[in-house]
Structure 1
Amino acid sequence: MKDTHVQVLVVGAGLGGLSATLFLAQQGIDVLTVSKHAGTALHPKATGQTPRTMELLRRAGVEDEVMAGSGGPITIKIAESLQGEVFRTIATDEDAPDFGALSPAPFGMASQDHVEPVLLDRSRDLGAEVRFHTELVSFTQDGDGVEARLLDVPTGRLTTVRADYLVAADGHRGKIRESLGIERHGHGPLAGHIGIIFEADLSLHTAPGRTTLFYLRNQAFTGAFVSLTTDRRHVLTIEHDSRESLADYDEDRCTALIRTATDVPDLTPKILDVTRWEMAAWMADRFSSGRVFLVGDAAKVTPPTGGLGGNTAVQDGYDIAWKLAAVLKGEAGTGLLASYEAERRPYAQAVVDSSYRNYVERFAPHLMDDDVPAPIDYLELGFGFPCRSSAVLPEDDDAAMEDPFTSTGRPGYRAPHVTVRHNGSETSTVDLFGRGWVLVTLDPAWNDCGVDVPVLTDPSGRLGTRYGIGDRGASLVRPDGVVAWRSPDLVLDPGATVRRVLDSVLDR
Structure 2
Amino acid sequence: MNTATVPGPSPDAAGDTGPGPDHVPVLVVGGSLSGLSAAVLLAHHGVGCLVVERRSGMGNHPRSRVLTARSGEVFRSLGLEPAIDTVSRRPSGWFQARTLADPVYTRLGPSGDPTRPISPAGSRLCDQNRLEPILLADARRRGARVLFGCELTSFDQDPHGVTARILDRSTGRSRTVRCAYLLAADGTHSPVREALGIELHGRRGEPRFLSTVFEADLDPVLHGRRPTAVVFPGREVLFARGTLREPLWEHGIPDSPFAAGASDGASDGASDDALGRFARDRLREVTGLPGLEPDVRSVLRWGASAVVAERFREGRVFLLGDAAHTMPVIGGLGGNTGIQDAHNLAWKLAAVLHGNAGEQLLDTYDVERSRVAAHTLWHVLATARELPEALHPETLQLGYLYPDPAGGPDAGPGEDPYRPTGRPGSRAPHLWLRHDHGRVSVLDLFGAGFTLLAGPLGQRWLPAGARAAAGPGLPLAAYRIGGPDSALRDPRGTFPTRYGIGPTGAVLVRPDGYVVRRWGTAPHTRTALEHAVRTALERPAALSPEPARSA
TM-score (ref. length: structure 1): 0.91
- Of stretches 20-29 and 271-280 in structure 1, the one that deviates more from structure 2 is 271-280
SS across alignment from 1:406: coil
CA offset at residue 199 of structure 1? 1.2
Counterpart position of 1:369: none
CA distance in 2, matches of 1:499, 1:59: 25
Counterpart position of 1:70: 88
Is 1:82 aligned with 2:100?
A: yes
Counterpart position of 2:253: 238
Q: What is the root-mean-square deviation in Å for CA atoms of aligned residues?
A: 2.3
Q: Measured at CA, do residues 373 and 159 of structure 1 come closer, stay the same or move farther in structure 2, by a change above 3 Å?
A: farther
Counting only pairs closer than 5 Å after superposition, residues 384-403 of structure 1 correspond to structure 2 as: 384-388=399-403, 392-393=405-406, 395-403=408-416
SS across alignment from 2:138: helix
Do the aligned partners of 1:354 and 1:373 also contact (CA within 8 Å) in 2?
Answer: no
Is 1:474 aligned with 2:489?
A: no
Q: For residues 104-158 of structure 1, give each alpha carbon's deviation from its aligned partner in whole angstroms, at most 9, with x where no partner exists.
A: 1132211100000000000000000000000010111111111110000100110
Is 1:162 aligned with 2:178?
A: yes
Identity within the alignment, %: 38
Counting only pairs closer than 5 Å after superposition, residues 136-285 of structure 1 correspond to structure 2 as: 136-189=152-205, 191-206=207-222, 208=224, 210-218=226-234, 222-228=235-241, 229-230=243-244, 231-239=246-254, 240-241=256-257, 242-243=260-261, 247=272, 249-285=274-310
CA distance in 1, matches of 2:308, 2:388: 15
Given candidates 335, 358, 362, the residue that maps to 1:337 is: 362
Counterpart position of 2:140: 124
Given candidates 327, 330, 347, the residue that maps to 2:372 is: 347
SS across alignment from 2:88: coil
The letter of the residue matching 2:492 is S
Give the count of matched residue pairs: 490
CA offset at residue 238 of structure 1? 1.5
The letter of the residue matching 1:69 is V
Do the aligned partners of 1:286 and 1:341 also contact (CA within 8 Å) in 2?
Answer: yes
Is 1:408 aligned with 2:421?
A: yes
- Of stretches 303-312 and 229-238 in structure 1, the one that deviates more from structure 2 is 229-238
CA offset at residue 84 of structure 1? 5.9
Do the aligned partners of 1:66 and 1:108 also contact (CA within 8 Å) in 2?
Answer: no
CA offset at residue 382 of structure 1? 1.3
Is 1:114 aligned with 2:139?
A: no
Q: Measured at CA, do residues 352 and 208 of structure 1 come closer, stay the same or move farther in structure 2, by a change above 3 Å?
A: farther
Q: For residues 278-328 of structure 1, give each alpha carbon's deviation from its aligned partner in whole angstroms, at most 9, with x where no partner exists.
A: 221111111111111111100011111111112111111111111111111
Is 1:291 aligned with 2:309?
A: no
CA offset at residue 76 of structure 1? 1.5
Counterpart position of 1:7: 25
The letter of the residue matching 2:230 is F
Q: Measured at CA, do residues 86 and 321 of structure 1 come closer, stay the same or move farther in structure 2, by a change above 3 Å?
A: farther
Counterpart position of 1:504: 535
Do the aligned partners of 1:419 and 1:460 also contact (CA within 8 Å) in 2?
Answer: no
CA offset at residue 86 of structure 1? 9.2
Given candidates 489, 494, 513, the residue that maps to 1:462 is: 494
Counterpart position of 1:434: 447
CA distance in 1, matches of 2:361, 2:278: 54
CA distance in 1, matches of 2:435, 2:355: 30
Q: Measured at CA, do residues 360 and 77 of structure 1 come closer, stay the same or move farther in structure 2, by a change above 3 Å?
A: farther
- Of stretches 64-73 and 125-134 in structure 1, the one that deviates more from structure 2 is 64-73
- Of stretches 169-178 and 82-91 in structure 1, the one that deviates more from structure 2 is 82-91
Counterpart position of 1:303: 328
CA distance in 2, matches of 1:385, 1:375: 13
Do the aligned partners of 1:49 and 1:110 also contact (CA within 8 Å) in 2?
Answer: yes
CA offset at residue 400 of structure 1? 4.8
CA offset at residue 268 of structure 1? 1.2
CA distance in 2, matches of 1:411, 1:183: 31
Counterpart position of 2:58: 40
CA distance in 2, matches of 1:177, 1:28: 27
Q: Gaps spanning 5+ residues in structure 2: where?
A: 1-17, 470-475, 483-489, 540-551
Q: For residues 223-267 of structure 1, give each alpha carbon's deviation from its aligned partner in whole angstroms, at most 9, with x where no partner exists.
A: 321121333421112122324677474332221111122121111
SS across alignment from 1:453: strand
CA offset at residue 271 of structure 1? 1.7
Q: Measured at CA, do residues 210 and 494 of structure 1 come closer, stay the same or move farther in structure 2, by a change above 3 Å?
A: farther
The letter of the residue matching 2:84 is V
CA distance in 2, matches of 1:444, 1:122: 38
Do the aligned partners of 1:72 and 1:211 also contact (CA within 8 Å) in 2?
Answer: no
Do the aligned partners of 1:72 and 1:210 also contact (CA within 8 Å) in 2?
Answer: no
SS across alignment from 1:459: coil
Q: For residues 9-51 of structure 1, give each alpha carbon's deviation from its aligned partner in whole angstroms, at most 9, with x where no partner exists.
A: 0000111100000000111111000000122231112112122
Do the aligned partners of 2:504 and 2:522 also contact (CA within 8 Å) in 1?
Answer: yes
Counterpart position of 1:313: 338
CA distance in 2, matches of 1:248, 1:216: 25
CA offset at residue 504 of structure 1? 1.5
CA distance in 2, matches of 1:226, 1:407: 32
SS across alignment from 2:289: coil
Given candidates 90, 102, 109, the residue that maps to 1:91 is: 109
The letter of the residue matching 1:399 is G
Is 1:383 aligned with 2:398?
A: yes
The letter of the residue matching 2:85 is M
CA distance in 1, matches of 2:252, 2:336: 21
CA offset at residue 383 of structure 1? 1.4
Do the aligned partners of 2:238 and 2:249 also contact (CA within 8 Å) in 1?
Answer: yes
Q: Gaps spanning 5+ residues in structure 1: where?
A: 362-371
CA distance in 2, matches of 1:488, 1:36: 52
